[in-house]
Chains A and B, each alone.
Chain A
Amino acid sequence: MMRPGVKPRVAFFDFASCEGCQLQVVNLEESVIDLIDIVNVVSFREAMKEHSDDYDIAFVEGSIMRPMDEERLKNIRNRAKILVALGACACIGGINTLRNRYSVEHVKKVVYGDADMDGNPFFDVFHTKAVGDVVDVDYYVHGCPINRDELAKVVTSLALGKKPEIPNYPVCVECKKKGNVCIFERGGFCLGPVTRAGCGAICPTNGSGCEGCRGLVDNPNTDSELEVLEKYGLRLEDALGKFDIFCYRYKGEISK
């Protein structure tokens, strides 16, 4: 934990991602002032030129795609006292895991055609990994993109030396608190019952089903969720397909 009264040194790092999550940090707007008041940001490519390798807390965005990423990530882990995975790409592999259903050769071929990439470490890719597949992660800030309020909560908790509260209940909880009419009752489909809350059920509240961007809760009842999706009219195949976008990595574990 951090020493009280000493501003923790914070660094941001990005791997394979759209950098949307770091953008959310920049978008904290006036609160950014508060952020830099309580922590010392020593490295943040999205927002500043300076860089330092001396930090306490590392926020890591993006998925791990190559041996060289693994090397870099392990280095970050070694230097950081606390490592926080930032966003779906980092936490669960996210959108990037979509390509795991194809072979690496196939993916390269589709994207780069016949270009010669032999021996080039930049193109030496493996199946997408989440940050936690490579190193120990202390805390997760889920979502695609992350929710700014939740990030602020995590940063404040860390600065106060507390354990951040990351919900382990499904999106339905926040959805019910909002008094929403369930998407299933409106003819739609929703992964809310198995997806980790924390976003304020933003998708159902705005009329579309949850796509699972925050990943699954610790013990999701995916069998029951599949049955519900089927009961409301999806074929099993399409019900399983619901897990493609963000939760592809879990699909192997979903039985039936």
Chain B
Amino acid sequence: MRIIDKKDFIEFVNLLITKDARTVVGVKAKGDKFIYDELASADELRLDFDVTVLSPKKYFMPPTETLLEYDLSSDFKVMSVNEVTPLIIIGIHPYDLIALQQMETVFRDTYPDANHLLKLERSILIGTNMQNVSPHSFAASMGTATTRYGYDLMLTDIGDSYYVELGSDRGEELLERYARVSMPDESHKKRFEAVINGIVGKFQKKLNFPADELPAILAKTYDSDLWANKAEKCLSCGSCNLVCPTCYCFDVQDVTELNLRKGERIRTWDGCLLEDFAKVATGENFREDRASRYRHRFMRKGKFLHERFGFIACVGCGRCASGCLPDIADPVEVYNTLKEEVL
């Protein structure tokens, strides 16, 4: 553990920006929302954010990414592409750190995905404990309001300074190289514990039952009327998928240049709420109606991925709830209603 004074922290961030070879990104304001973006100076950093529009997933699984380039001209050539910009990301809330861990598990499974993993390996993740909580977030119910792992450094605002937890050697080295720090005394530790203990109470949204009951609840509610009732208003816009830090589905397309010689194979975010998501080459669509697509997302997050990987693939960030225009995507509302159905 270390202590870094607030004015020294500003210096630390500015040194990272000017001296470190990696690109420094952090949370910035965009209108009255927050986004991750490259930092030009420490002044732009807003560690008091509640939630960002997109999660840091966008850096490790970019919305659109080239997987390979091909050349059709004389003899067919293919080159794999893995464009990596090593990053230092400042200001990741615990739920998003846990989401990144889940993503890593998924991308390591079966066939390790170099395009995802190399980006992750080359980057430094600096977490921050939540000062403000989005009205849609229910991370406390998912056990993701705080975390003991998944970061290189973890910052907690304790008033005049940040309490810094060290998560890795890389994190420690970064501090040694660029920051003026001291060791925490008893008063720092007390303040840190008070902040951490206060986080859970800041959440307005809560599950009415322990999250680990979810798989069992979903097993009994596959045929519930809730799915069709809610899905009636579904726009099939995929927003709930696209903003989710644990959604990892993608589509792969070959884009050939107009000269018909060169081209690239790209992958781009897809979402199971979209009409053509489960449509196959013959024209058959395995989830043709809105209700079955709508249900699928909740089943996957709360049951299917739990069966496969042992975790509930929802970290309670609330982004799906705030991004859904007809207000039907809120997992808290859906899961609490289902719980009542099986009581």
Interface, chain A (partner B; CB < 8 A) = 28, 31, 34-35, 37-38, 152-153, 155-156, 159-160, 165, 168-170, 172-173, 176-182, 184-186, 192-194, 217-219, 221, 223-225, 227-228
Contacts and interface: CB of A to CB of B under 8 A. Distances in A.
B236 interface: yes
B48 interface: no
A223 B323 CA distance: 18
Interface residues of B, number: 36
Given A170-B236, A173-B242, A193-B237, A165 B253 contact: yes
B63 interface: yes
Contact of B235 (A155, A181, A185, A224): A224
| Chain A residues touching B, majority SS | helix
B30 A181 contact: yes
Contacts of B268: 177
Contacts of B271: 173
A182 B323 contact: yes
| Chain B residues touching A, majority SS | loop
A176 B260 CA distance: 30
B302 interface: no
Interface of B: 30-31, 33, 35, 53-54, 58, 63-64, 232-239, 242-243, 253, 255-260, 268-269, 271, 274-276, 290, 323, 325-326
Contacts of B30: 181
A38 B258 contact: yes
A181 B275 contact: no
Contacts of A223: 233
Nearest to B277: A169
B256 A228 contact: no
A169 B276 contact: yes
A198 B236 CA distance: 16
B235 A193 contact: yes
Given A34-B259, A160-B256, A221 B275 contact: no
Contacts of B323: 176, 182
Nearest to B232: A224
Per CB-CB distance, the 6 closest pairs between chain A and chain B, nearest first, are A177-B63, A176-B242, A172-B237, A34-B258, A193-B235, A34-B259
